[in-house]
Each structure stands twice: as structure tokens, then as C-alpha cells.
Amino acid sequence: MTKKKKESDAVKIARANRHTEWLRLIGKIFDTLPKYILAGFVLYIFKDMVHELAGKETLTNIKIDIPFLSNTIGLLLGGGGLAYGIRQNKLRKDTIQQQSKRIKDLEICV
């Protein structure tokens, strides 16, 4: 009776591991897919721009100037980098504290 119960527990654990792997794979797909879709969209728009001007002689200066947007993007990237650095520093300190307690306990046991 206990052998069957142990086997069923092992089957449940294996099934849970498979589901976890599937969910991890799906999450990875949903994480990377938007990047490729955006890159494809940008290339598609660029192709249409080049196709429209191909073989035509123009005297137009094509300039895209959005000053407030470039400043905003710079501020967002700078703030994001600052927040990332602060968070990584905190995580590193927390990890060192956790590991130092563990190492001290292991040294005491030896």
C-alpha cells in the first residue's frame, strides 16, 4: 500500500515538474516574442519608406525632430538605469548577509 502511494507521489512530482517546465517555456516565449514583433514592424515600415523613394529624385531633406521626446527618452533611460543599479546593489547586500549567516553556521558545525 505504501509503495503504491510513494509511486503516485513520484508521478505527481514528475507531472508538476513537467508543468513547471512548460510554464517556464511559455513565459520565455511571451517574454521574447514582443521584441521580435517590434523589430519586424520597424523593418516593415523602413522597407515601405525605402520602397516609396526608390528610383525617385527628390530635393527633400528628411528630418525627424522631436526635441521633447529625445529628452524624455534620455531621462527615462537614465532613471531606469539608476533604479536598476540601486535595486541590484540592495539585492547584492541582502545576498551577502544571507550567505554570511549560512557560512558562519557551517563553520561552527565543522
Most distant CA atoms of the chain, gap in Å: 87
Task: Please write the tens of the pLDDT for every residue from 79-110.
Answer: 999 999 999 999 999 998 888 888 888 888 87
In a 13 Å sphere around the CA of 80, the CA atoms on its Cβ side amount to 6
Tell me the pTM.
Answer: 0.36
Radius of gyration of the chain (CA): 27
Q: What pLDDT is attached to residue 53? A: 76
The conformation of residue 108, written as its DSSP 8-state character, comes to H
CA distance 7 to 3: 6
The average pLDDT across 49-76 equals 75
CA distance 45 to 52: 11
